[in-house]
Amino acid sequence: VINELKANDRGFTLGDGLFETIAVRNAQPLHLQHHLHRLRMGLNILRFEFETSDARITAAIHTTIESHRMTDAVVRLTLTRGPAPRGVLPSAASRPNMLITVSPWNVIPDTVRVILAQTTRRNEASPLSRIKSLNYLDSVLARMEAADAGADDAILLNTRDHLAEASAANLFVLLQGQWFTPPVHDGALPGIARALLIERAGVAERSLTPNDLLQAEAAFLSNSLGLREILCVDDRKLISRQPDRIDEFRQILR
Amino acid sequence: VINELKANDRGFTLGDGLFETIAVRNAQPLHLQHHLHRLRMGLNILRFEFETSDARITAAIHTTIESHRMTDAVVRLTLTRGPAPRGVLPSAASRPNMLITVSPWNVIPDTVRVILAQTTRRNEASPLSRIKSLNYLDSVLARMEAADAGADDAILLNTRDHLAEASAANLFVLLQGQWFTPPVHDGALPGIARALLIERAGVAERSLTPNDLLQAEAAFLSNSLGLREILCVDDRKLISRQPDRIDEFRQILR
């Protein structure tokens, strides 16, 4: 675990990096292969030359968990393009930096109150919407707006008025008995839990509007740390709820 | 000058910060009041509580320049929200971090070959397009695309097919004898040189299309480090050039 980094690391100067947030249960990182696969996709889009194998990353994560003697925890894996002189264009000489940090596990509430973010929108026209990069400020703005409104999270629209995702979680909406989640081309991050729910629980991808969410029979947010059922949107209560069905989804992800 | 920062600084973990790039000539930072004004606007949008006065920031910049004994240089002022536990929502306990770094002055070429970026677009629907934040990856992607095409820089479109700016510079286009630059609501960063050219040189704001650029009588890029005339766009040479007029603009900014 590196605790300090250089002030000229491009991860810091330009947000030129990627991260993964991985749940740890009983000292085991969950869905690690999926996280490493997404990380590789991000490395590809950002064109980082990172030669460390998945096996070595996995070993480093296990060593970190063991050295902190944690059973339930959250591991964050951060990869930056590394230190470089001033300038936007990456230097061929940059060598990526990997940081692994561990935080205590915090209990995730079962429910969440959301708003529709007004201050900013997710840029579905950028490849960054498909990777988990260090450019997280739109989510920070949306979360501050949610906190101002007394809500727990905010749903971001994309630039075409479709729902994209929450500040750090994918969105799922039940409409006429079928669960839907926004497609990646609408600005949804390809979440790990999202992929598993599409694969194993029959969730379908479809563009969704604010009206779809307001008229949903139920809705929830997912990320690698858990599922939270949506109670209300902009202070309007959802018509009905499906806590049992969402518990089933939780089991599927375990 | 701080050379190391904590791995849990939000500037690093989420790109939660701002910066300014300031030209130094004869040991004097140029247009410093304008830079500090823009920094304050950014602090406002990101809601950083930063109590250090402009006078103290100015003194710190001068001390840094003097301690490096540099006459011509580039100062970068970076402000982050500071160290914090995991999570998207800023903690009230965070205290901002200021870093001042100095790089040698590199001669800016007088001309530039550009492409129209295809890989990504600037998000004019986000307040981040109006501030100089650490979320710089769209520009990094566009610059890598330019380098692949053998060009020096890339012009980014916004999500409505209007021209926004280059990877780290504003765009100026001469059409029927009048100079235009994209408006801020099209995703142009409110650049310091841009503001001075609007104020002192009669440049007007107007939405511009790729066709406007291809048919321009002349065009250039500006940022705080200099002006570069555009020679060609996607290998198509501009119809004419105005190097003398652009030299006059350089004088105005001195």
3-class SS at A215? Answer: coil
CB atoms inside a 10 Å sphere around CB B104: 11
Is some CB atom of chain B closer than 8 A to the CB atom of A78? yes
Q: How many CB atoms lie within 10 A of CB A182?
A: 27
- The residues with which B115 forms a beta bridge, in sequence order, are B154
Cβ contacts (< 8 Å) between A167 and chain B: which residues?
88
> What are the residues whose beta carbons fall under 8 Å from the beta carbon of B126, sequence distance 6 or more?
A120, A121, A123, A138, A141
The answer on pLDDT for B6 being more than 50 is yes
Residue partners of A251: CB distance under 8 A and separation at least 6: none
Contact criterion met (CB < 8 Å) for B5 and A5: yes
B153/A196 Cα distance (integer angstroms): 40
B221 three-state secondary structure: strand
Q: In chain A, which residues have pLDDT < 50? A: 1
Whole-angstrom distance, CA of residue A108 vs CA of residue B103: 45
pLDDT in tens, A234-253: 988 887 889 999 999 999 99
B177/chain A closest Cα distance in angstroms: 32
Q: Report the SS3 class of residue A243.
A: helix
Compute the average pLDDT of residues B60-76: 95
pLDDT at res. A1:
43
Give the C-alpha separation, B253 to B228, whole Å: 13
- pLDDT score of B170 more than 50: yes
pLDDT of residue B226: 96
Characterize the bridge pairing of strands B17-25 and A17-25: unpaired
CB contact under 8 A, B86 and A76: yes
**pLDDT of amino acid A2:** 54
Residue B107 has pLDDT above 80, yes or no: yes
Instruction: Give residues with Cβ within 8 angstroms of A21, minimum separation 6.
Output: A74, A75, A76, A223, A224, A225, B86
Q: CB–CB of B14 and A136 under 8 A?
A: yes
The CA distance from A178 to the nearest CA of chain B, in Å, is 30
Among B233, B186, B197, which residue's Cα sits nearest to residue B213?
Answer: B233
Predicted pLDDT of residue A3: 57
Handedness of CA A116, B127, B37, A84 (dihedral sign): positive
Please spell the DSSP secondary structure of A84-151, one letter per residue: --SSSSPPTT---EEEEEEEE--PPPSEEEEEE--S--B-TTSGGGGS-BS--HHHHHHHHHHHHTT-
Report the pLDDT value the prediction gives residue B210, as an integer from 0 to 100: 97
Predicted confidence at residue A239, as pLDDT, reads 73
Cβ-defined contact of A125 to B120 (cutoff 8 Å): yes
Q: Which of B151, B84, B81 is nearest to B116 (CA)?
A: B151
B203 touches chain A (CB under 8 A): no
pLDDT in tens, B24-56: 999 999 999 999 999 999 999 999 989 999 999
- Provide the shortest C-alpha distance from residue A84 to chain B (in Å): 12
d(CA B138, CA A131): 12
Mutating which of A76, A81, A88, A139 best tests the B interface, going by the most B Cβ atoms within 10 A?
Answer: A88
Q: Which of A6, A141, A159 sits opposite B159 (nearest CB)?
A: A159
Confidence of residue B2 (pLDDT cuts 50, 70, 90): low
Is the pLDDT at B1 greater than 50? The verdict is no
Contacts of A107 in chain B (CB under 8 A): none
- The answer to whether B207 and B183 have CB atoms below 8 angstroms apart is yes
Burial degree of A92 (CB within 10 A; 0-12, 13-18, 19+): exposed
Q: Return the amino acid letter for A58.
A: T
Pairing label, strands A111-116, A153-157: parallel
The answer to whether A46 touches A16, Cβ cutoff 8 Å, is yes
Can you name the residues that pair with B116 across neighbouring β-strands?
Answer: B155
- The pLDDT score that the predictor gives to residue A237 is 85
ipTM score for this prediction: 0.96
Q: What is the pLDDT of residues B134-160, one digit of tens each?
A: 999 999 999 999 999 999 999 999 999
Q: How far is CA B199 from CA B39, B41, B182, B204, in A?
A: 20, 19, 15, 9
| Better pLDDT: B3 or B10 | B10
d(CA A250, CA A225): 10
**Tens digit of each residue's pLDDT (9 = 90 or more) over B201-222:** 999 999 999 999 999 999 999 9
Average pLDDT, chain B: 95
From the list B35, B27, B104, B31, the residue with the least C-alpha distance to B73 is B104
Contact A11 B9 (CB under 8 A): no
Q: Which residues of B touch A137 (CB under 8 A)?
A: 14-16, 46, 128, 133-135
